[in-house]
Amino acid sequence: MAWSTRELADLAGTTVNTVRHYHRLGLLEEPERRSNGYKEYEVRHLVRLLRIRRLADLGVPLSRIGEASAHSDATPDMLRKLDTELAESIKRLGRARHDIAAILREGAPADIAAGFESVASRLSDADTSMIHIYTLLYDEEALEDVRRMVETDADARAVGDDINALAPDADEATRQHLAERLAPSLAQNLADYPWMRDPAARLAKSGRITQQTFIQAMVDLYNPAQLDVFARARNLADEYLQARRPADDDIE
């Protein structure tokens, strides 16, 4: 019994192009040709093709199939490495399915940062962009705190909406009024999450890169009036916290 290239490919559940690719890589021996020039594959070619397909299905790179087929002493180690990679892929796919379910459940944008699906509809484009920056700069513990802050702040989103709508040339009174409205929640966040004052232990990048990236992102994503409101609110928040602090020095 002999088969043409197409017959061999169909029998093995693959394509003619794949068979030809294996020939080019030297994985599959070229068969004899009939008098009419057509290739004539035998059982040994079919078995070899099936072996190649089996190893490829396991995830063995084509560049190492020859080594695996030869029962090399390195094959078990290669398979253990593949198994580790597959386990990581399974975890990644599991996380992806979990995130997709959350996105569909909350009706959130597909590109929202993981964990922020439930509040995505209440955040501005600048806010969601900053959250993506946070995922780059902070460790997972810090991101958990950021998620909690966003969820809490999103429940009273009126101030945020007004800041998002703030014109670059907003007057002094408007800026100060917004800063005074924002400061209490900011002060509460600073009190609840002290690491925000000195985030060095929560950084995923170096302090220098974090500072440069954060500052550049803020400048690019928010207009001058908004940045001014944030700065004023931070100063006011620090004043509120200082006023709350017990006068330990006086007691001593």
230 and 245 in a single domain? The answer is yes
Question: Sign of the CA dihedral 32, 35, 39, 43?
Answer: negative
191 and 100 in a single domain? The answer is no
79 and 58 in a single domain? The answer is no
127 and 239 in a single domain? The answer is yes
Mean pLDDT of 14-43: 92
238 and 122 in a single domain? The answer is yes
Residue 156, domain extent: 111-251
Mean pLDDT of 36-57: 92
226 and 125 in a single domain? The answer is yes
Please, which pLDDT band fits residue 246 given cuts at 50, 70 and 90?
low
90 and 125 in a single domain? The answer is no
Q: Is 64 left (phi over 0), alpha (psi -120 to 50) or beta?
A: alpha
Please, which pLDDT band fits residue 124 given cuts at 50, 70 and 90?
confident
pLDDT surpassing 80 at residue 87: yes
Measured distance CA(226)–CA(217) in Å, rounded? 13
62 and 77 in a single domain? The answer is no
28 and 60 in a single domain? The answer is yes
Residue 31's pLDDT is 93
31 and 153 in a single domain? The answer is no
The secondary structure of residue 120, as a DSSP letter, is G
Mean pLDDT of the residues in the chain: 90
**Phi and psi of 3, rounded to 5°?**
-125, 150
182 and 220 in a single domain? The answer is yes
The secondary structure element, H or E, covering residue 39 is strand 39-40
**CATH code for the domain in which residue 20 is found:** 1.10.1660.10
* Boundary of a domain, candidates 85, 106, 127: 106
Mean pLDDT of 202-225: 94
pLDDT surpassing 90 at residue 67: no
36 and 94 in a single domain? The answer is no
Residue 37's pLDDT is 80
Q: How many other CB atoms sit within 10 Å of the CB of residue 214?
A: 17
- Counting residues of the chain whose pLDDT is more than 90, the rounded percentage is 73
Contact at 8 Å (CB) between 157 and 122? Answer: yes
- How many separate domains does the chain show? 3
